[in-house]
Amino acid sequence: MSADILSRISGDDPVARLRSLREAVPGRIVFTTSFGIEDQAITHMIAEAGLDIHFATLDTGRLFDETREVWAETEDRYGIEVEAFRPDPDRLADYIDQWGMNGFYDAQDTRLLCCEIRKVEPLKRALAGAEAWITGLRADQSAGRNAVELASWDDARGLVKLAPIFDWSRERTAEFCAANAVPVNALHAKGYPSIGCAPCTRAVRPGEDERAGRWWWEGDDARECGLHLDEKGRLVPNRRAA
């Protein structure tokens, strides 16, 4: 089944790719948005095309105010509801009791545990029962993501994973959003190309890649939160559908 679905996903532009996914997958498709510029472009495409795709987000409890503002603006603009998935309160309370509110600064293990509680586990609930998952990954976001292509079969979750703008540059994405009056996070104009939780995101410096402002204190070029990692902690690249 997975090979058959992947073979049917194609298209020269993201909307065609999204349509082909919707036609190839009979069941539930979930698009997870963090309200960054890539996800805003995809939200516009899905909404304008009227595709039957569910919108979801991971509300970590540490989002920027600007992210919450563009969340509300997006729902109003497109007449959609973005379902929020939040961390388990008991697990979060245990983490804070043991490591403190900002224990993620102390070691990579405590940071990854925080990401697991606030993002990875809620994602499992967001994708429960889904047959396909749409993301805003782009190949040129960082050195660690340069292998990202259009579509793959996610073995761990048992679903198709699509990155419809995998081959777009940031400039092309920004031009698309400007041309279509797509709501964008105000932090992008302040030097935040990649926006996550407020304590874990800073503006990037000249010459840094887009994700250099995420968990910057770790000094690891392959920094990720775990959403796109396999069970061994390696980034899972999408492969182009045949």
Q: Is residue 52 in some structural domain?
A: yes
- Give per-residue pLDDT as tens, 215-233: 999 976 555 555 644 444 4
Residue 183 lies in a domain: yes
Q: What is the pLDDT of residues 106-132, one digit of tens each?
A: 999 999 999 999 999 999 999 999 999
Residue 228 lies in a domain: no
Q: Identify whether 239 is part of a domain.
A: no
Residue 143 lies in a domain: yes
Residue 237 is assigned to a structural domain of this protein? no
Active site members = 225
Could you tell me the pTM of the whole model?
0.89
- Can you give the CATH number for the domain in which 40 is found? 3.40.50.620
SS3 for the chain is CHHHHHHCCCCCCHHHHHHHHHHHCCCCEEEECCCCHHHHHHHHHHHHHCCCCEEEEECCCCECHHHHHHHHHHHHHHCCCCEEECCCHHHHHHHHHHHCCCHHHCCHHHHHHHHHHHHHHHHHHHCCCCCEEECCCCCCCCHHHCCCCCEEEECCCCEEEECCCCCCCHHHHHHHHHHCCCCCCHHHHHCCCCCCEHHHECCCCCCCCCCCCECHHHCCCCCCCCCCECCCCCECCCECCC
Q: Supply the range of the domain harboring residue 163.
A: 2-218
In a domain, 229, yes or no: no
Q: Specify the number of domains making up the chain.
A: 1
